[in-house]
Amino acid sequence: MAGGTLPGTAADEADGSDRVVFHVDMDCFYASCERLRRPELAGEPVVVGMGYEAGESIGAVATASYEARAFGVESAMPISEALDLLPRRANADPDDPDAPDPEETGRYLPVDLDFYKEVAGDVKAVLRDCADVIREVSVDEAYLDVSDRTAWDVAEGESAAAGPAEARTLAEGYARHVKQRIEREAGVPASVGVAPNMSTAKVASDADKPDGLVVVPPGAVESFLAPLSTAEIHGVGPVTERTLAEMEIETAADLAAADPDRLADELGERGPELRRRARGDDDREVTPTGLPKSLSRESSLSPTADEETKRETVAALSADVARRARERGCLYRTIGIKAVEPPYDVNTRARSLPGPVDDPELVESVAFDLLAEFADDRVRKLGVRVSNLDFAESDQATLGGFEPGGDGGGAGDDAGDGRPSARAPRTRSVATDGDGGKLTDWVGGEPTEVDEEEAGERGTSEPGDGQASLGDWA
């Protein structure tokens, strides 16, 4: 590392531009999830429909892959309209002159929310391991403040990212690390925008999709934004874009130079705010979206059926989850495990307790009991989770006398009141992500949130990248 800083950084430190903000946006997330478990869909036009059943023409497009978008298929479009633009592959017949050309057909699939939640949990696991401050905007979108993890310091070599950055920075390297971990551990692609503030990071993540990495360092923000259309400024939706066009404001540069009083007259308080964003001025902090619904950790493994390896991993995961719950001052009512069998068969099991507890030994014991169902199975990933969290102060730290049921399965959420024939042996080891890395969080069952101003512009709860929302996970 050369040890220097980017031009403009030192002068701008007072206004917060030493911050490093990532905006992580998953590319065509539902379609990417389908390709994860069906690799033969790679490169194919894929349409995922809400309220859609195979072979039917009712429902609406939840998301369309970039290949499908090339045919004009868009999010929220009726399936019947999408089929006019992109017929089903199943209807193609090269020997029938009246049938559609196979090269101009696509694959239509119904929404599988449970599977998408599992994959989203894997993505969030990476994000929570890579950043201390995260704002989850939707199931496939989040802001990360990584100022404590990296910096705008210049590293050796030229920037390999898209955008105005000329020199490679530590921030670029860390963003690439996050992207690669998402790809490796969740199996789906993401685009990442890197900037000194939230609104510019959001614009950057959209600038080089799919699978993009755009870095906008301090000192280059306004020049990066200037040539863009107003529609690309964070917070400008179709209605605002039309209003600005009527004011002869077409680009971010026009917006940055506009009279703030006139903007306020036309758009209210949002007008001057959008002007500031077009100038690269956004001092909002990345704020978390509320208390978590669960705390969890998971570890990737080389596929194995070895009982000792699985128990050692679950023991380490249980200890870490219980430690994190105690550090955050929360009790938990449910203990669960996650076991992923090759290639990507996700299984979860959980058991609810009679009351909230803080009991590391009980977490391990219940997790072992639930793991017994997979004693003979090969797994490629294991996770332990505590949920139904209670952050209120409580004197009830343990459930004295409670033992998990001895049926060896524990497939449901019922509390057991039997006793196992023998207490599970206690083991401790350091579990890794399969590549020598840290354990990653497994965060499932958390609510999603759509940025209010984006929702107000869209008039919908649709998250970014033209994809319909999964809604709350609770």
Can you give the pLDDT at residue 163?
85
Q: Which of 253, 278, 303 is the last residue in one of the domains?
A: 278
Is the confidence at residue 425, as pLDDT, over 70?
no
Determine, yes or no, domain membership for 448: no
Residue 141 is a catalytic residue:
yes
- Residue 464 within a domain: no
Q: Is 129 a residue whose pLDDT tops 70?
A: yes
Q: What average pLDDT does the segment 218-240 reach?
A: 91
pLDDT band of residue 392 (cuts 50, 70, 90) is low
Which of 342, 347, 260 has the alpha carbon at shortest distance from 301?
Answer: 342
d(CA 39, CA 241): 39
In a domain, 3, yes or no: no
Say if strands 294-304 and 440-441 run parallel, antiparallel, or are unpaired: antiparallel
Task: Look at residue 453 and tell me if it is in a domain.
Answer: no
Q: Give pLDDT, residue 265.
A: 92
Q: In 205-330, where do the E strands start and end?
A: 213-215, 294-304
* DSSP-based three-state secondary structure for 115: helix
For β-strands 440-441 and 107-110, DSSP reports them as unpaired
CATH number at residue 43: 3.40.1170.60
Q: Give percent of the chain with pLDDT exceeding 70.
A: 77
pLDDT of res. 395: 39
What pLDDT does residue 155 have? Answer: 86
Q: Is the pLDDT of residue 405 over 70?
A: no
Length of the chain as a residue count:
474
pLDDT at residue 95, rounded to an integer: 65
161 in the same domain as 38 = no
CB 104 within 8 A of CB 112: no
Which residue range forms the structural domain that includes residue 239?
Answer: 9-27+116-278
Q: CB neighbours of 270 closer than 8 A, spacing ≥ 6? A: 235, 240, 453
pLDDT score recorded for residue 447: 31
Determine the average pLDDT of the residues in 43-64. Answer: 90
pLDDT digits (tens, 9 = 90+) for 255-288: 999 999 999 999 988 899 999 999 999 888 898 8
| Model confidence band, residue 204 (pLDDT cutoffs 50, 70, 90) | very high
pLDDT in tens, 299-330: 888 999 999 999 999 999 999 899 888 877 88
Active-site entry in 136, 141, 185, 364: 141
Here the CATH number for the domain that contains residue 432 is: 3.30.1490.100
329-333, 387-391, 441-445, 460-464: the lowest-pLDDT one:
441-445
pTM, 2 dp: 0.64
Are 174 and 157 part of one and the same domain? yes
Based on the domain organization, do 326 and 411 belong to the same domain? yes
Please determine, for residue 230, whether its predicted confidence score (pLDDT) is greater than 90.
yes
pLDDT of residue 270: 86
pLDDT at 165: 87
Hey, which of 336-345, 421-430, 463-472 has the most confident mean pLDDT?
A: 336-345
Do 38 and 99 lie in a common domain?
yes
